Amino acid sequence: MRADLLKKELNIFTFGDLLEHFPFRHIDRTKVNLVSEMTPLTEFAQVAGVLLSFEIIGQRAGKRMVAQLKDKTGILELTWFQGLNWVQKLLEPGKSYLVFGRVGFFNGKPQMVHPELELLTPDQPVGKNFLEPVYSTTEKLRSRGLGGRQIGKLTQLLMTQVREKDLEENIPGSLRSQLKLEGRYNAFRQIHFPQSEEEYQRAVKRLKFEELFLAQIRMNLLRSQRHRFSKGVLFEKVGDLFNDCYKHHLPFELTGAQKRVIREIRADTATGKQMNRLLQGDVGSGKTIVAVLTMLLAVDNGYQACLMAPTEILAQQHYQSVGSLLEKLGVTVKLLTGSVRAAERKKILQELAAGELKILLGTHAVIEEVVQFKNLGLVIIDEQHRFGVAQRARLWKKAEIPPHMLVMTATPIPRTLAMTAYGDLDYSVIDELPPGRQPVTTVHRYESQRSNVMDFIRLEISKGRQVYIIFPLIEESAKMDYENLMKGYENVKAYFPEPRYWISMVHGKQPAEQKELNMKRFVEQDTQIMVSTTVIEVGVNVPNASVMVIESAEKFGLSQLHQLRGRVGRGAEKSYCVLLTGSKLGNDARERIHIMTSTNNGFEIAEKDLELRGPGEIEGTRQSGALNFRLASIVQDRDLLETAGKMAVSLLEKDPDLVSAENLQLKKFLHYRKGPVQWSKIA
């Protein structure tokens, strides 16, 4: 009966689950609060007193039990809405009780709703000499006598029967002593029933490390298994196209980081194993040229390559910039998007199947079933977070041997997140911006300063520059946002009238042609101002634009703000980003604005974003089960994760198959999430 409830309410099925239902805090039983000490600011309290009386009052939904508990300083009211029969059996006026719960104030008097309750016997001292665990529970369980404390009692009972052999060690001894980690059995005892705060912290550290370490071992094993056993396309040579481009046609000198990444990719694709690589680089760090050279490598080796972008505008832009470079080398490249007409599409499909077309650029359109390649050897996904895992898998199926995959991120991912969510991928970073970039100056302005901002825009335009003005568009309230955008557009138009000024407007509701026409006019400097929603967020490249104004900047997330800011500062001119907000800002919004005005470094911003929002909210990782740690947090336990990662790598270097005696135990654990013991079910 209770077992059923535990299953339903807390997902506790086995004794093992119960042991892993860790207390969320401990209470010091020596500390008892006095009723007179309670104030509306008191959160939780523990009170010892005599029960004066109790009664059931109210009808139906309002039916409840109210009791009075008196200590030497005052009276505390206790209320129950559920489980009245059960509570009634426990209560006896004149007896002493110890209660614990959240304190509320009603009519100026302290009260507790559904407190934990325990009868005090004369021989039982109030203060026991250990920290008592408090477990999360639910109202329903509590009303059936399984409050946080009762769960503790079950756990305690269980602990008396668990032997050291039931909780086998899984971290090798040498590693444990190197890191001074508590043994597994002790850690389990002490996380529930510590003798001191210090002992508790040691237990927590040990169990957190275990979680992170096992996860890192699993990730690294997955990766090395792929390296060893996967079959991949072999790019054995660096051929004429690559060399020709590298020596004669690069529009600029590559940065050291770009060169390093290209070396990494070359080494990886020359092994005969499939490459599965994540390429991280801040906005504007120059990922596109890396993509181009990698595609040439594929073509040099007789394979086809495909580059996929998340939006039509982006794909178009790649087609223009990449296309003109490739044309000089005599490589054919075509663009496939949803708006390519039937006749052209048919031609592209034929050429692809025949192997005449070497490089295909496009949007989601390229993963459709009908798109068949002759020998696809490389897939590059730009601005990764918009593509799901399933979509990536569909690309795999387009060739007998899986093509190499290069996934390029739009914004940096914090290192800890990359380690945990993408740890099975190989990983390259462009951590250097092209030389001569002037950092974008970012300022915060209030709505009331709008006319100053407009004056500034006018000044920049008079110098021949162009300006973006971005409006938020949040899907749920799209209608209102759309109206705001229109109002905003009229407003901008009033400041910047035709024919002196021309404005482009781009938003998601426009037909594709209109969108492209407006974009094109801005790119070709026909218009000086681009009023837009975040559809231009990712990747768009107009080097002459020097000002980015973000309206209602408080509504945007950090990575979005950083992406938007990345649209300027791409040319030689000094660029600016203006964050316009209302006068009232919440704490988080204030913090975001502060971060944006104090750094341009996308890696730093990504770390802050993770801290502010937590791992679950970072785009693209929500589905990832890799982040479901019970105890550890990739934000708070960053250092421990780094250590676990390093230790996992060095252990696997020495013993890649975990065959040494010391690592056997660890290996056993990789197959069971909860460890090797088959716990019997809770009866």
Contact 448, 583 (CB under 8 A): yes
Q: Burial-class residue 2 by CB neighbours within 10 Å (0-12, 13-18, 19+).
A: middle
Shortest-Cβ-distance residue relative to ligand ADP: 286
Task: Note whether 472 binds Mg ion by CB under 5 A.
Answer: no
Contact 294, 380 (CB under 8 A): yes
Q: Which one of the spans 238-246, 278-286, 342-350, 390-398 is the region binding ligand ADP (CB under 6 A)?
A: 278-286
Contact 315, 444 (CB under 8 A): no
Q: In which residue are the tokens 């990662």 written?
A: 645
**SS3 at position 275:** coil
Q: Nearest distance from residue 2's CB to ligand ADP, in Å?
A: 57
Task: Note whether 412 binds ligand ADP by CB under 6 A.
Answer: no
Residue 255: contacted member of Mg ion, ligand ADP, none (CB under 5 to 8 Å, by partner type): ligand ADP
Q: Nearest distance from residue 291's CB to ligand ADP, in Å?
A: 8
Residues numbered 642 to 671 that lie near ligand ADP (CB under 6 A) are none
Binding residue for Mg ion (CB under 5 A) from 310, 362, 423, 539? 539
Q: Nearest distance from residue 332's CB to ligand ADP, in Å?
A: 22
Q: Which one of the spans 35-43, 68-76, 207-215, 537-545 is the region binding Mg ion (CB under 5 A)?
A: 537-545
Residue 289: contacted member of Mg ion, ligand ADP, none (CB under 5 to 8 Å, by partner type): ligand ADP
Task: Note whether 232 binds Mg ion by CB under 5 A.
Answer: no
Closer of 314 and 666 to ligand ADP (Cβ): 314
User: How far is 411 from 606, CA to CA, in rounded Å?
Assistant: 8
Q: Maximum Cα–Cα distance for the chain, whole Å? A: 97
Binding mask 565-604 for ligand ADP (x = CB under 6 A): -----x----------------------------------
- Alpha-carbon dihedral 239, 242, 248, 253, rounded to 10 degrees: -140
Q: Nearest distance from residue 160's CB to ligand ADP, in Å?
A: 60
Closer of 65 and 322 to ligand ADP (Cβ): 322
DSSP output for 543-581: TTEEEEEETTGGGS-HHHHHHHHTTSS-SSS--EEEEEE
Which DSSP helix (H) or strand (E) runs through 455?
A: helix 450-462
Task: Note whether 287 binds ligand ADP by CB under 6 A.
Answer: yes
Residue 104: contacted member of Mg ion, ligand ADP, none (CB under 5 to 8 Å, by partner type): none
Q: Nearest distance from residue 279's CB to Mg ion, in Å?
A: 10
Task: Give how far the C-alpha of residue 511 lies from the chain's centroid of Cα atoms, to the nearest Å.
Answer: 33
Q: Which two tokens stand for residue 661?
A: 């005696």
Task: Give how far the C-alpha of residue 163 lies from the chain's centroid of Cα atoms, to the nearest Å.
Answer: 39
Task: Note whether 170 binds ligand ADP by CB under 6 A.
Answer: no
User: How far is 128 from 122, CA to CA, in rounded Å?
Assistant: 14
Q: Nearest distance from residue 132's CB to ligand ADP, in Å?
A: 55
Q: For residue 3, what are the CA distances in angstroms to 21, 146, 154, 156, 682?
A: 14, 10, 11, 16, 6
Q: Nearest distance from residue 528's CB to ligand ADP, in Å?
A: 20
Binding residue for ligand ADP (CB under 6 A) from 16, 101, 148, 286? 286
Binding residue for ligand ADP (CB under 6 A) from 46, 111, 274, 288? 288
User: How far is 183 from 170, CA to CA, in rounded Å?
Assistant: 9
Contact 171, 32 (CB under 8 A): no
Nearest Cα neighbor of 234 from 298, 324, 186 is 298
User: How far is 65 from 84, CA to CA, in rounded Å?
Assistant: 7
Residue 541: contacted member of Mg ion, ligand ADP, none (CB under 5 to 8 Å, by partner type): ligand ADP
Contact 220, 283 (CB under 8 A): no
Binding residue for ligand ADP (CB under 6 A) from 284, 412, 569, 645? 284
Closer of 282 and 460 to ligand ADP (Cβ): 282
Paired residues of 323 in beta bridges = none
Binding residue for ligand ADP (CB under 6 A) from 45, 151, 187, 283? 283
Residues numbered 221 to 260 that lie near ligand ADP (CB under 6 A) are 252-255, 258
User: How far is 649 from 207, CA to CA, in rounded Å?
Assistant: 19
Interface residues toward Mg ion, by CB under 5 A: 539
Q: Which residues bind ligand ADP (CB under 6 A)?
A: 252-255, 258, 281, 283-289, 434, 541, 543, 570
